[in-house]
Amino acid sequence: MIKLAGVSKTVMSGGQPLTILHPTDLDVARGRSVAIVGPSGSGKSTLLGLIAGLDAPTTGTIAIDGVEITTLGEDALAKLRGQKIGFVFQFFHLIGSLTAFENVLVPMELAGVREAEDRARQLLAEVGLSGRGHHYPSQLSGGEQQRVAVARALANDPPLLLADEPTGNLDSRNGQHVVDLLFEINRTRGTTLALVTHDRELAARAEMRIELRDGRVVARRGPGPLDGPHAGVAAEPIVR
Amino acid sequence: MTFVARMAVREIKASWKRLLFFFLCVAIGVAAIVALRSVVQTVRGALQDQARALLAADVVVQTNRPWDDQTLTKVDERLAEARVAARTELIETTTMVRPADPAKGGVRMVELQGISPGFPLHGAVVLQDGVRFRHELLADRGALVRPELLVQLDLRVGDRLLIGDTSFTIRGVVASEPGRRVGAFSFGGRVLVDRAELLGTGLLSLGSRARYAIMLRVPDDSMEQLVRTLRRDFPQQYVSVRSYRGTEDQIGEELQRAENYLSLVGFVVLVLGGIGVWSVTRVFVHQKVRSIAVMKCVGASSAQVLAVYVTQVAALSMAGSLLGVALARLALLAIPSRWLDGLGGVTPSLTTSAVLQGVGVGLLVSLLFALVPLLETRRVKPLLLLRDQVTAAPPSPAERRRLRERVVGRLRGTDWTKVATAFGVGLALALVAGWQAGSLRVGLLVSVGFLAVALVLGLAATGLVRAVRPLRRVRVFPVRHAAISVQRPGGQTRVILIAVGLGAFLILGVKALERNLLNEFSIEARANGPDLFLIDVQPDQAEPLARFLEGAGLQSPARLLPVLRARVTGVKGRDVSLESFDDVRSRGSLAREYVVTFRDRLEPNETIVDGQFWTAAPATDVEVSIERSIRDRFRIAIGDRIRFDILGRVIEARVTSVREVEWADTRAGGFMFVFRPGALDQAPRTYIAIARGPGDAAERARLQRAAVDRFPNVSIIDAREIAKTVEEVLGNVTMAVSVVGAVAVFSGALILIGSVAMTKFERLHEAAVFKTLGAGTRTIAATMALEYGTLGLLAGAIGGLASVALSWVVASRVLDIRWDPSALYVAAGVVITALTVTVVGVVASVDVLRRKPLSVLRAE
Amino acid sequence: MDTHAPPARAPEGRHRRRAWHVVLAAATLAVLAACGTADDPSREAAPRESTGQPSVAATPVADRPRIVALGDSLTAGYGLPSNQGYPSVLQQLLDEAGYRYEVVNMGVSGDTSAGGLRRVDWALEGDVRVVIVALGGNDGLRGLSPADLERNLGGIIDRARARGIPVLLCGMEAPPNLGASYTREFRAVYPRLAKRDGVTLLPFLLDGVAGDPSLNQADGIHPNADGARRMATLVLSRLEPLLDRRGTS
């Protein structure tokens, strides 16, 4: 599902090049769940952003579901994202001028899905926000906003779900809800899940774990090969 | 509904209050443009109508010989080419008339004008006692006369008048007539008769002096061409062509100045309106960047994103523009009608072109300034958008190589689209601005100035940002954070400096020009200017005439000036001689005959710029004072000797002073050479009496009659008509200039206020955070005041200085008027700008200051 | 004329047609308003050649007997360069014919008979042998009364006669547009005056010149160089009998 080869990210900061992520390999099979952990500043959010095509790598190639995304233009990437990738941000990033319901509708409308309203209502119900659809993000609590974000991420039923510190801004109870939701989706639908967190307990729930420190992978754990050169795909069939 | 429409509706529903504010600012910008352009066009039209009426036609082709076939054929040919709409012919000559009744004595010189049906092509002949003018009145030897003639010859309507040997019947009295611009100076009033009957009097035979005129109404677009062609066809001086737009006389000059000024203001307001719309659009798009990024994250393509937000911008600006048009309508109603009374009671109404221009600018500017940043977002990674870095970090060499190899084609394509869009929209804007601009020269000048000032302001922004860097370390909170705020990326500093600086530049420039122009007009339109000139008063008549005039009920005392004819034949011992025929005709020659005078005092319209005007010491030789232009053009200095030939006597005079004469002030005339009394006391001379005659026409006529009786050789030039006309025109022009100036300044100020108020959105977040950190309202207000104050002051100063340059260039090069830097006004303007910006900036943010921080943060 | 005269220099531009300048024009030139050519006050008479007289104002010192040409713009040579007005041409003709006289140009553009009368004393200073009086044109153009014309001209003649100076009186015509009766009265003045002693009449100064476009300037009133030559010839024909060849030492 996710295949990274030699991917790194360097930016210019104050006139000096700063390497946020050193060349990294990654191979995640369909249906797996992987947690990317590390202290803050370790480059884990950057890695996730690269996987989502929201950012461009300085070196290396990235393939999502067999599609090489580093060569794609913005429009193609956007299309890909709409269909294949659901992203949940740490800071929610809902569109403030749309209601919760409308926020969930947007990806479907962009993809030209008919009868999207029903599905949106269903999704909101799944995340436990049935009655709150007509509220604006400013009228929702942090936890509620994140749940809307999850619903939005699931709108087009993407095979890959990415979550960047999904519980970072939530209390433990809400955070628990959201995380439960994410893993349930992974389990029941076979959606590949990659999530970034600094919470080791949360990370433990994932099948695979990658630990980053100062932009380098320092540990890998989990079934099946996670790194490129030894890549032997543990092909567990996806249940869809 | 499509997705785009749906998104638009949703966004409007969600933030309609903020949208209202945006949309109001667009409306103000557009309203200013529409209102002012309408006023300008109306006023311009009215002034042109007046100019036409003063000529009684659009174009007059005239000669002092009877038309010969060849000339007429050529003229007719040209007229056909120019699609002349109407034509009438006229003959004017001076003649003596007397009452037909031999019992009544008296002979008067009059200006006999033979008109044809169709006269006048513009303006109207107004008769006294409510009689309506029609050409039939002149049928069967009818004549229309001026009231003075009735007094002078003791006649009444219905009496008969002998013109030549033919008897005419007086059918009416002329109260006012058009066509006062040509032949306005004559020694007698006008008498109107039918042209054919004039020819029938036999007065026009070999050797007669007459003016033969063909008067034309010509469509505006072919007029200039026609005039040029005719002048080319007839280079000899006995056929002359003039149009109502000609600047050969004073009235034409003033109207042209007004035209140029109106053009300028019309253009300025376009630019100001554009600035207003730009600042609104900028903020609007800036706020949407987040949403754009999110949409891209969830699968929106660039085209979709573009569609959503361009539509919103277009809808916003369209709606704002329409509201602007409505506001303009209201604004026009608010102009007190008495302000524009003089302009033929015209009420300014919205003109189609003004509306189209206003809406056009509103739409185009908003599209331009929305499309460019929106197109920019196509290339930028969504994450960077989310982090508020709108410009991508420069790619590393490796990255660049890879990008080049793989996506170069695609990237290049994006660039061109943006450039092409910007160019296309920009071109459309320029076209809109140029439409109905009036004067290309003025438009170009202002554009160049505007770009130059924008550049300077941009540089100043960069400079300021650097300059305040050390202030980041200061301990005083407001100062430190004002400095930080100035340095904030996102270009707010630049925006305020540019918007306010340009606004100040344009508004102060317009104001300065208005003041200089009105100054010029007020000197000329001096209400007590003379309008009666008695010439050829012999020396022995001077005293008696002076006494006569004293008792004549003049509006201001008459002045008698001695005048002599003197020819300059040498300077400093150098002989001057004229070689060719052309030298005599060109004005460049010093060696010509001048009218000189002598007196012992300076006139009010003179100032000494060099030397001394007759010292107390008795004269040792003949002294003369020269006018400034003589000194400048022929490089004559104090102490030089000029040789004059006065009727065969050669007199050498030493230059002892240089005067500057205010020619526009005619109360005292003006002379190039003024001699010290004594030397010329015995030389043959005459006197000219300058006076302002009684206002009442009958009294005036009586005065002239009595003067002629007592001093038969003295001729009287009654310039009342022309003086009245000039005063009227100047009055109207003054009014037009003032009204337009006031509206421009008012709307310009509104626009600027809107633009500054707009910037509050960018600091909402910050202010809220500061409040949570413990900063009190006063502290935050102080920070804002400092920041806005500094920016306002800097922008105002740069704009103010530039406005001085602008007013100088336009005053001297385009309007050809005196220029006064009026430093005090500029300084006041700068201070007012700084204060306004500060107050507006702080007041606009007052809701931020008063709301709870969280509600602000949450609404983000 | 206003439209294609050589463009006025910029400094003058601002007061090209102020009221005052037109008044000065009217005061100095024949009134041209009726002909629509009253524009440029700068088109004034050309200067004479320097007479070589000393530079301090004084009564003129002459070495030749003088012939004074008292008149208006026709005499002054309006619109012509210095040596082309009729008095200058007359001077040439006299010199060529061997006479030793000095022709003094006392022409003042715009002058009327009244003006001439006021300055005749100034003009007749010195050794004046003949005075050529060519006045009345401006009286006609301004519509001044023929009776006054006659009175003024008569006064000039009297002053000249009092000094023993013969007068060559040049007749003028008023333009026909002023009306037949006016022109008739006007025209009759000159022959009447010429009946006096010591007055020789030249019936019409512009005989053969007036009305001929090739001999006049564009304004149709003032003769051009050719016209001036014609005038000089005409004047000489009446002048010669009054001159004697003494003084041709």
Number of C-beta neighbours around residue C150 at 10 A: 19
Across A42-56, B77-91, B401-415, least confident range: B401-415
Residue C77 has pLDDT above 80, yes or no: yes
Please state whether B22 falls in left (phi above 0), alpha (psi between -120 and 50) or beta.
Answer: alpha
pLDDT of residue B385: 61
Please state whether B490 falls in left (phi above 0), alpha (psi between -120 and 50) or beta.
Answer: left
Residue C131 has pLDDT above 90, yes or no: yes
Identify the bridge partners of residue B623 per DSSP, sorted by sequence position. B654
A140 touches chain B (CB under 8 A): no
Contact list, C24 vs chain B (CB under 8 Å): 563, 595, 669
Task: Give the type of residue at A73.
Answer: G
The 10s digit of each residue's pLDDT in B103-133 is 887 888 898 999 999 999 998 899 998 889 9
Examine chains B and A and say if they touch (3+ CB pairs below 8 A): yes
Name the residue with higher pLDDT: B438 or C128: C128
Known active-site residue C95? no
Across B401-410, B412-421, B793-802, least confident range: B401-410
Contact list, A78 vs chain B (CB under 8 Å): 296, 299-302
pLDDT of residue B720: 77
Tell me the mean pLDDT in the region A200-204: 83
Give the Cα-Cα-Cα angle B463, B465, B470 (nearest 5 degrees): 105
Q: What is the DSSP string of C138-188?
A: HHHHHT--HHHHHHHHHHHHHHHHHTT--EEEEP----GGG-HHHHHHHHH
Tell me the mean pLDDT in the region C228-235: 93
Q: State how far the Cα of B799 lies from the Cα of B512, in Å rounded to an integer.
A: 13
The 10s digit of each residue's pLDDT in C144-177 is 889 999 999 999 999 999 999 999 999 999 888 8
Number of continuous H segments (helices) and E segments (strands) in chain C: 9, 5
Residue B291's closest chain A neighbor by CA? A95
pLDDT of residue B338: 64
Tokens at C228, concatenated: 């001036």
Nearest-Cα distance to chain B for A151, in Å, is 12
Would the CB atoms of B14 and A97 count as touching at under 8 Å?
A: yes
Per the omega criterion (within 30 degrees of 0), is the bond before C146 cis? no
Give percent above pLDDT 90 in chain A.
Answer: 2
Identify the bridge partners of residue B213 per DSSP, sorted by sequence position. B62, B90
Give percent above pLDDT 90 in chain C.
Answer: 39
Examine chains C and B and say if they touch (3+ CB pairs below 8 A): yes
Number of C-beta neighbours around residue A58 at 10 A: 20
The 10s digit of each residue's pLDDT in B263-274 is 788 888 888 888
Task: Give the type of residue at B394.
Answer: P
Helix (H, G, I), strand (E, B) or coil at B574: strand
Would the CB atoms of A96 and B294 count as touching at under 8 Å?
A: no
Q: Which of B197-206, B496-505, C205-214, C223-232 has the largest mean confidence?
A: C223-232
The 10s digit of each residue's pLDDT in A58-110 is 888 899 888 888 888 777 887 888 888 888 887 778 887 788 988 888 888 88
Contact list, C221 vs chain B (CB under 8 Å): 209
Q: State how far the Cα of B436 lies from the Cα of B360, in Å rounded to an integer.
A: 13
* Cβ proximity of C1 and B701 under 8 Å: no
Q: Is residue C229 very low, low, confident or very high in pLDDT (cuts 50, 70, 90)?
A: very high
Q: State how far the Cα of B804 lies from the Cα of B508, in Å rounded to an integer.
A: 8
Q: Which of A136-150, A214-228, B406-420 has the largest mean confidence?
A: A136-150
The 10s digit of each residue's pLDDT in B589-603 is 676 778 889 988 888
Name the residue with higher pLDDT: A169 or C89: C89
Tell me the mean pLDDT in the region B471-496: 76
Q: What is the DSSP string of B110-126?
A: EEEEEE-TT--SSS--E
For chain C, the average pLDDT equals: 76
Known active-site residue C219? yes
Residue C14's closest chain B neighbor by CA? B816
The 10s digit of each residue's pLDDT in B816-855 is 788 888 888 899 999 999 999 899 888 877 776 666 666 6
Residue A12: alpha-carbon gap to chain centroid: 26
pLDDT of residue C192: 94
The 10s digit of each residue's pLDDT in C20-62 is 666 676 665 543 332 333 333 333 333 333 333 222 333 444 5
Write down all domains in chain A, each with its CATH number in brackets: 2-221 (3.40.50.300)
Residue C8 has pLDDT above 50, yes or no: no
For chain B, the average pLDDT equals: 80
Give the Cα-Cα-Cα angle B215, B217, B219 (nearest 5 degrees): 145
Q: State how far the Cα of A141 lies from the Cα of A147, in Å rounded to an integer.
A: 10
Write down all domains in chain C, each with its CATH number in brackets: 14-44 (no CATH), 66-242 (3.40.50.1110)
Residue C14 has pLDDT above 50, yes or no: no
Residue C7 has pLDDT above 60, yes or no: no
Distances (CA, A) of B487 to A57, B738, B837, C192, C211: 30, 41, 18, 101, 85
Would the CB atoms of C27 and B563 count as touching at under 8 Å?
A: yes
Number of C-beta neighbours around residue B405 at 10 A: 9
The 10s digit of each residue's pLDDT in B716-751 is 887 777 777 777 777 778 887 888 888 888 888 888
Tell me the mean pLDDT in the region A7-30: 83
Name the residue with higher pLDDT: B720 or C230: C230
Name the residue with higher pLDDT: B768 or C86: C86
pLDDT of residue B141: 93
In C59-98, the residues whose Cβ lies within 8 Å of chain B are 60, 76, 79-82
Contact list, A11 vs chain B (CB under 8 Å): 393
Contact list, C182 vs chain B (CB under 8 Å): 96, 107
Q: Is residue C113 very low, low, confident or very high in pLDDT (cuts 50, 70, 90)?
A: very high
Across A70-84, A126-140, B695-709, B768-782, least confident range: B768-782
The 10s digit of each residue's pLDDT in B620-647 is 888 999 988 888 877 777 888 888 878 7
Crossing angle of helices B777-809 and B764-773, rounded to 10°: 150
Which one of C72, C113, C139, C222 is the catalytic residue?
A: C222
pLDDT of residue B436: 60
Helix (H, G, I), strand (E, B) or coil at B372: helix
The 10s digit of each residue's pLDDT in B316-331 is 889 889 999 998 888 8
pLDDT of residue B343: 63
Tell me the mean pLDDT in the region B161-181: 87
Name the residue with higher pLDDT: A221 or C50: A221
Q: Is residue B172 very low, low, confident or very high in pLDDT (cuts 50, 70, 90)?
A: very high
The 10s digit of each residue's pLDDT in B261-308 is 887 888 888 888 888 888 888 778 877 877 888 888 888 887 888 888
- The chain B residues in contact with chain A (CB within 8 A) are 3, 6, 10-11, 14-15, 290-291, 293-304, 378-379, 381-384, 386, 393-394, 396, 398-399, 406-407, 410, 858-860
C214 touches chain B (CB under 8 A): no
**pTM beyond cutoff 0.80:** no
Q: What is the DSSP string of A213-229?
A: ETTEEEEEESSS--SST
Tokens at B815, concatenated: 């309007």
pLDDT of residue B212: 92
By Cβ distance, the residue of B10, B296, B858 closest to A98 is B10
Q: State how far the Cα of B655 lies from the Cα of B663, in Å rounded to an integer.
A: 21
Tell me the mean pLDDT in the region B797-819: 86
For chain A, the average pLDDT equals: 81
Task: Give the type of residue at B74.
Answer: K
Q: Is residue C4 very low, low, confident or very high in pLDDT (cuts 50, 70, 90)?
A: very low
pLDDT of residue C26: 66
Q: What is the DSSP string of A118-180?
A: HHHHHHHHHTT-GGGTTS-GGGS-HHHHHHHHHHHHHTT--SEEEEESTTTTS-HHHHHHHHH
Across A147-156, B433-442, B534-543, B668-677, least confident range: B433-442
By Cβ distance, the residue of C11, C180, C210 closest to B165 is C180
